[in-house]
Structure 1
Amino acid sequence: MENLDELKKEIKETIISTLQLEDITPENIVDSEPLFGEGLGLDSIDALELGVGLKKKFGVKFSSESADNKKHFASVDALAEYISQTRG
């Protein structure tokens, strides 16, 4: 089982590289802050791209029909939890 802090850092780096957020560093992204809306301010197009980026990096799938996606993409904390559980 990998270190959750390390996983969160990798997730942040994936968010930044996938979405080409040039002015943001992993340190700028707060683990518990919302990724969408007032937090990082991502939108639904970003969510699609990020889903693809996370799948490539971590081998996890997000179903486009799944109501859980909103929960998984809520924050870096939520993504880390989902990825660590999925990868076991």
Structure 2
Amino acid sequence: MTTSAKLRDILVNELNLEDVTPEELTDDTALFGEGLGLDSLDAVEIVVLVQKHFGVEIKDMEEGKTAFQNIGSLASFIDARKAQ
């Protein structure tokens, strides 16, 4: 399973997203705003989920801004950190 596919599963199931399935999401799906419509509390939860499931830490707001653009950017961030 790719990081992106695992991430879609985690987001839908752990954030209890209703009316959406992991298969409906793409790498271009925005996490906030027009996309999934997540908020700042969800962002905190995502930080915890990324640490728990992937062992990757998002240390500050600047890293978060880059990583949280969409599902693909978060998956790329995770893959890059795991490779270090």
User: Shift in Å at residue 8 of structure 1?
Assistant: 0.6
**2:63 aligned partner, one-letter code:** D
Aligned length: 83
The corresponding residue for 2:38 is 42
Matches within 5 A, 1:1-88: 6-63=2-59, 65-88=60-83
Distance of 1:71 and 1:26 partners within structure 2: 22
Q: Which runs of 5+ in 1 are unaligned?
A: none
Calculate the aligned-residue CA RMSD, in Å.
Answer: 1.4
1:21 is paired with a residue whose SS is coil
Tell me the TM-score normalised to structure 2 length: 0.89
CA displacement, residues 2-26 of structure 1 (integer Å, 9 cap, x when unaligned): xxx7211100011112211132211
**1:86 aligned partner, one-letter code:** R
Identity in percent: 37
Tell me the TM-score normalised to structure 1 length: 0.85
Q: Which runs of 5+ in 2 are unaligned?
A: none
CA displacement, residues 47-72 of structure 1 (integer Å, 9 cap, x when unaligned): 11111111100000012x33120110
Distance of 2:36 and 2:54 partners within structure 1: 21
